């Protein structure tokens, strides 16, 4: 009886952790949009995010490195981690922050959420993996949903800006998909938390270098309210959800975590409505549901295999 009770408590804790992490992750776009109310560009906003996240990432990497079962990272692994950090976190984040200057937070989250379908498409072109009937249906649902949401945003903004923003967010989703494909073999060897901490820390260093080269130093001086937002962005919207989701997956498994995590796009719509005044139409919700259905369908086989 006590074992069952303990197991249920562990499951509920896992659900709460993944749900909280998913909502905090999805709120990132809203907080980024709030930083754009101050006189600064995408690179500066990203720079501040990584400034506040970096100390925590170093601490997590150090903690993981000190674990007794931590395997030594080989030279080739370091090259892999550096490349994936640049592609999956630096480029993906930079494209994301640029895109958010032009489109709504709601549309950003919907487009980003299609990354599992991009993995399928990339696998077809890169590895020649055949696209199954179920996956074709998923692709149709997903991109129909994106088209519906995109058409709605066109009604509330300039077509050129919305298209440009959507293009950059698509690039962000694409680079993150490449990261997922490239990190699949190394994560089992060194551990997910360890790999993520190192990759994010490396991407932070690249962001710092990028800002040092071409950043606007005048934009570093902002009202104190901005620094509070930047702290929120670097901690509650970056480090905390990464830790929560990782801990939650250990308790409930990746399949359950993926289902819970699908709350992200919908929560972004409502958070953007409350904090940014972005419109939510019936077609926005329909488009989001299409995307969720398509991504959920395409993820089932992969998730089931991972849980085994």
Residues 164 and 280: their CA atoms lie apart, in Å, by 21
- The answer, yes or no, to whether residue 4 has pLDDT greater than 70, is no
Burial class (CB in 10 A: 0-12, 13-18, 19+), 7: exposed
pLDDT tens for residues 105-147? 999 999 999 988 898 898 888 888 888 888 899 999 999 999 9
pLDDT tens for residues 15-38? 888 899 889 988 999 999 999 999
The set of long-range contacts for 199-202, using a CB threshold of 8 Å and a minimum separation of 24, is 199/81, 199/84, 199/85, 199/88, 199/89, 200/53, 200/57, 200/85, 200/89, 200/238, 200/242, 201/54, 201/57, 201/58, 201/61, 201/85, 202/81, 202/82, 202/85, 202/86, 202/89, 202/90
Over residues 194-220, the mean pLDDT reads 95
Over residues 150-164, the mean pLDDT reads 86
pLDDT at 225: 94
Residues 246 and 238: their CA atoms lie apart, in Å, by 13
Q: Which residues are CB-neighbours of 216 under 8 A, at least 6 positions away?
A: 40, 41, 43, 44
pLDDT tens for residues 71-105? 888 888 899 999 999 998 999 999 999 999 999 99
Question: Band of the pLDDT at 10, cuts 50, 70, 90?
Answer: low
Cα–Cα nearest to 121, from 301, 258, 288, 298: 298
Each domain of the chain, given as residue ranges in start order, spans 12-299
* pLDDT, greater one: 164 or 133: 164
- The answer, yes or no, to whether residue 1 has pLDDT greater than 70, is no
């Amino acid at each position: 009886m006590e074992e069952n009770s303990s197991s249920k408590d562990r499951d509920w804790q896992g659900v709460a952790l993944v749900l909280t992490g998913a909502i905090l992750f999805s709120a990132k776009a809203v907080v980024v949009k709030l930083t754009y109310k101050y006189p600064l560009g995408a690179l500066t906003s990203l720079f501040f995010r990584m400034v506040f996240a970096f100390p925590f990432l170093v601490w997590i990497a150090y903690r993981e490195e000190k674990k007794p079962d931590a395997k030594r990272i080989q030279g080739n692994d370091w090259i892999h981690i550096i490349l994936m950090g640049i592609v999956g976190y630096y480029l993906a984040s930079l494209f994301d922050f640029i895109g958010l200057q032009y489109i709504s937070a709601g549309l950003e989250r919907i487009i980003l959420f299609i990354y599992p379908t991009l993995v399928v498409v990339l696998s077809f072109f890169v590895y020649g993996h055949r696209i199954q009937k179920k996956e074709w249906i998923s692709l149709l649902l997903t991109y129909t949903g994106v088209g519906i949401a995109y058409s709605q945003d066109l009604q509330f903004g300039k077509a050129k800006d919305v298209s440009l923003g959507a293009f950059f967010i698509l690039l962000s989703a694409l680079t993150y998909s490449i990261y997922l494909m490239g990190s699949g073999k190394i994560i089992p060897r060194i551990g997910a938390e360890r790999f993520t901490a190192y990759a994010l820390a490396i991407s932070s260093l690249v962001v710092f270098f990028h800002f040092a080269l071409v950043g606007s130093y005048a934009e570093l001086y902002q009202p104190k309210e901005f620094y509070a937002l930047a702290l929120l962005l670097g901690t509650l919207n970056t480090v905390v959800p990464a830790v929560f989701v990782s801990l939650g997956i250990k308790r409930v498994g990746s399949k359950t975590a993926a289902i819970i995590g699908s709350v992200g796009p919908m929560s972004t719509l409502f958070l953007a409505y409350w904090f940014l005044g972005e419109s939510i139409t019936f077609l926005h919700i329909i488009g989001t549901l299409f995307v969720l259905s398509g991504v959920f369908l395409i993820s089932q086989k992969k998730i089931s295999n991972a849980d085994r």
